[in-house]
Amino acid sequence: MHEVIIAGIGQTEVGEHWDISLRELAFYALEAARNDAGGLRPQALYVGNMLSAALSHQSHLATLLADFAGLQGIEAITVEAAGASGGAALRQGYLAVASGAVDVALVLGVEKMSEQTVFNVEAAAATGLDVDYEAEHGLTLTAQAALLMQRYLHEFSPTAGAFAGFPVTAHANGAGNKYAMFQKAIKPETYLRAGFVSEPLNMFDVAPNADGAAALVLTRPDLLPADFGHVPVRIIGSAVATDTLALHDRPDPLVFHAARLSIERACAQAGIKPEDVNLFELYDAFSVYAALTLEAAGLAGRGEGWKWAENGALSLQGKLPISTMGGLKARGNPGGATGVYQALEATQQLRGQAGPNQIPEASLALVQCLGGPASTAVSHVLTNRPAA
């Protein structure tokens, strides 16, 4: 297996891009990443997207984007795994370069949601659930997360406002990210006053759907341009795991089994333990997901993930910084692009390019994105440490 370097990164602002088409949004991120990588030309393009066919009425997306970017003739594949689509696309790009089948791979995550009603977006996203037994009966991802949170509160009786620390941390970090949808910090009392979206989830427990595109250029160290001016960031662990699609088929709905497996496998490949990392870009689409992910990673005991949100333990200066550029909650949740944004933001930290959000001496990052309630979980370990 070859070493895999993230040679280039590029992103657009996350938000409502009414005046930009899906292909233009993707192009801006692709071009930025290629320029950042010194103009390396890819042989393959892997696109993470979950809703283009439903919301933009465009399938065959990767070929369209390769064509629009002037990359006709290359391999181009769209990867769909609900909210984990971006991470799954990164996994494909990683495997292609690590195996030697591809010298340079371009990984893109892109999503466009703002031109559709909230109802249409929720209905389209619900197709990532078990349609026959969940979505067909009116269940949405938000309603499902509310049921999970209700069960969590019932079983473990956390303190009032126990989940506040997750969105408070995310919004504090989003304030330092010029690409974030929300760039304003919130106070814990603001969280407590917020109205419910789907009880007990309030508006700060739910990440906003948004438009956005992020791209990465992957290659081998020996192919980096002679004038490559960035700290080389290596992918040293990569894994995907799955669980039942329907939540009701699980022995315990409050155990994110696939999240645990993918973290264990990625960390084992990297030769580390989860507690060794300097930052964790986790999938905080809903506050309860953040707590369950920390428990799945073995960083908290069962029913105790919420305790990490207390006393600033997850802040940039805390024991384990999470969502360092705002996470899904403040940066925004651009669907299938989210996993690529997460890896890009971890790369910024490891390069020392995170601006006011920079974690001093960050050298090891864990990144995980989820499809549904961890029905699919994709984890990567990144480092700026030189190879042994």
Instruction: Give the residue-averaged pLDDT of 125-149.
Output: 96
In whole angstroms, give the CA distance from residue 369 to residue 47.
Answer: 15
On the question of pLDDT at 152 being above 90, the answer is: yes
- Residue 319 identity (one-letter amino acid): K
Give the burial class of 117: count Cβ atoms within 10 A of its Cβ; 0-12 exposed, 13-18 middle, 19 or more buried: exposed
Give me the CATH code for the 137-207+235-383 domain, please.
3.40.47.10
On the question of pLDDT at 29 being above 90, the answer is: yes
- In percent, the amount of the chain with pLDDT more than 70 equals 100
Instruction: Give the residue-averaged pLDDT of 232-258.
Output: 97
Q: Given this model, what pLDDT does residue 159 score?
A: 87
On the question of pLDDT at 160 being above 90, the answer is: no
Give me the CATH code for the 4-117+209-223 domain, please.
3.40.47.10
In whole angstroms, give the CA distance from residue 161 to residue 190.
Answer: 11
Using 50, 70 and 90 to split pLDDT, how confident is the model at 236? very high
Using 50, 70 and 90 to split pLDDT, how confident is the model at 311? confident
Domain ranges of the chain: 4-117+209-223, 137-207+235-383
| Collapsed DSSP state (helix, strand, coil) of residue 369 | strand
Q: Given this model, what pLDDT does residue 96 score?
A: 98
Q: Given this model, what pLDDT does residue 41 score?
A: 96
Topology match between the domains 4-117+209-223 and 137-207+235-383: yes
